[in-house]
Amino acid sequence: MDMADQEGIMIIDECPAVGLSGFDEPLMNKHISVMQELVRRDKNRPSVIMWSVANEPQADQEAAKNYFSNVVNSTKKFDQTRPVTCAVYADKSTEHAVSSLDVILVNRYYSWYSDTGHLEVIKPQTITEFTEWHELHNKPVMISEYGADSIPGFHMDPEFTWTEEYQAKLMIQNFEAFDELRSRGFFFGEMIWNFADFATPQGIIRVVGNKKGIFTRNRQPKLAAHLLRYRYNKLADVPSEDKKQYLYRMFNI
């Protein structure tokens, strides 16, 4: 966070409330206490632009509505200068946390966890859903997670799931959707999952860990890292260098 302050990197500061359920009063009181501690610790950091009260809560439970209303309102009392948000994943028709939030963050993995292998569904599904989130709540929306696993050095043509090409082409389809949504005025950000591959418990859905990183676990870039750098520089409107030549130089071709 020191580096973020120095470099001007914006942070959505999130408490460690992942996959919450139950939503009883003892949990709520603990949650409010944790948010108070988080705000007290980081309120003077210029890099922090929002507080996030949770990630992927099971907010289709009815009790979530009152629970998040209290947690969000308490957080606003601790800091009246920043918006409060939460990264949701429940269906918009059954989700109860969003009504209390200032901005909506949604985690979505089109063409990975759903319609696996069908890259053509990403753009229409993303545009449709995020537009509906905005229309339903009249709040700004961003995507807080998207991506796909790739095994470093695994290549196929045409692209196939788990290859670096599939991860990259999935990103490109998402970019096209984001650009369309941004032009509509309510979509304000995109955050990929995630920075680097990391270890997970043994199981049947991970190949020696979570491989959604744009970097390997040893911090070597995958194809996705080069693509994302080009994307972000383009969004920042990198001046003076021809974009085509920039891309050639970045890929060393």
Active site residues: 56
Q: Are 227 and 171 in contact (CB under 8 A)?
A: yes
Rounded CA separation 110/107 (Å):
10
Question: What sign does the CA torsion over 109, 114, 116, 117 have?
Answer: negative
Distant-in-sequence, close-in-space partners of 64: CB < 8 Å, separation ≥ 6: 23, 57, 58, 96, 97
Amino acid, single-letter form, for residue 96:
H
> Of 70, 105, 66, nearest to 86 (Cα)?
105
Distant-in-sequence, close-in-space partners of 88: CB < 8 Å, separation ≥ 6: 56, 57, 59, 95, 97, 98, 104, 105, 106, 107
